[in-house]
Structure 1
Amino acid sequence: MPDVSKIPGRNFLFIVMLGVILMLAVLLVWNLMGNKGETKSSAEGAAVSLSSATSGGGQQTSTPPTGRGDHKCEVPVASEKEFSVEAPSDYRFKKTYDGIKYPVSATYGPTYTPGVVGYCFAHNPTGAAMAAITYMAAESDINATEAERRGLLSKRVAAEYKPEAPESHPADSADARIAGYDIKSYSPERAVVDAVFLWKSDGQNHIAKFSVPMVWEDGDWRVDAVESEIHLETVEHMPSQVFKAQDNEDK
């Protein structure tokens, strides 16, 4: 027979356990409801932040360009073009802030332009020339940031790079353009490029060149001289590789 004296104790324990279970259930529901509230508040806060970022015409605010970053260049070069000095057939002209025209090529570079200045050039003489030309244009463009210009330099030069005030040169005259180039020397590791300027003054054409030493470093051509070492020199003849005026120049 069951011990009748123990039945009330069992009932009491059952009631206590049931109460504990109910309390735990209530706490669980309360906790879940609290998390939902926090999630909703976080979402509302994120929405407010996004609204603030996109204020002013509905466009997100942006930071100034900081150069090439960690982008890795991969510009293919056909085997028959590895030592070609020919000007790109697909070039088009862009303009600096002051209106200086300079060529760019989708084939030989720059193929990566995250801001004002472009990077990534073909590993051949033509690519070295396009890199030198891009550097000369960037040094004349007040829209190009210091970080962008630094990205065109070798590590050695970039470490001591100090931007200088613009000097008086053909870029200050009307109708100035980088009209072509000559390859003075070339190896897969180094090159020297004469970037040639053409401009008009008093109805006459004038020609001058900048000799720019280049180095192949970290998968791209980079300028291997400080700005003060690159001087203007007047010349009498156009270079061997010429960029003719085109209808597709940037306005």
Structure 2
Amino acid sequence: MEQIEVRDYLIEKILNTKSKENYKLPSENMLAEQFSIPRKRVRDAYVYLEQMGLIESRQGIGHFVKPKKKLLDIVLTGDVSFSEKMKQQTKDYRSILTRLEQIDKNDLAFKSIQMVENASLYIVERLRYIDGEPAAIHRSYVNSELFPEIKKEQNKLSSIYQFYKLNGIQRFESKFTRLSTIFPGKYERLMLHCENLVPLILVESDNWDKDRNIQLEYTEILYRSDRFSFQLNG
């Protein structure tokens, strides 16, 4: 309870600080005396705030409010390339292919995917870098029966939309979009360089060839919530 009280006090202080960048927060000794609690309780509160991505601790100096990065706007539609959305907002954008493999139909992940019945799937995972830092994981579960040579074309898969266009598909549409919040597991923390209490925004959608009414993929995108703001429509 004591730790929660200190944590709430510090969060309120962070939110109400006008000049947030590099603002030094009260020392552990000062807060321990103010709240009449052991210094360890204050230290635990600071560790929690660091795991939330709100502060950074500098050994021997103190605890500071973490500088906020510019938030990038995302319109939650599946008919526009993520890469194109990012290139419109920043000059420093990269997409790196991190995984390309077939999904076993007995895999639990396969059973949760909303795809056409009996489709054979490949997972195409890309890590998106914004301003030199990893910011999003993009997984496309692609209907490999439409693209039987997909594994041979991994040099073209950093942008799945460009890959589709190279295969003659020009118009896309999404028939559902679902938004939820999750906390990162070990894999996501390592990939995105984020703390374990920084929530991720999970956006699930589908992608169809609009002209032929054929489902191309089921999509999952994991966004760092401290890097993006979201618009529900365009």
TM superposition score normalised by structure 1: 0.25
TM superposition score normalised by structure 2: 0.26
Q: Larger relative CO (CA 8 A, sep 6+): 1 or 2?
A: 2
Please state which structure has a larger fraction of its residues in helix.
1
Please state which structure has a larger fraction of its residues in strand.
2
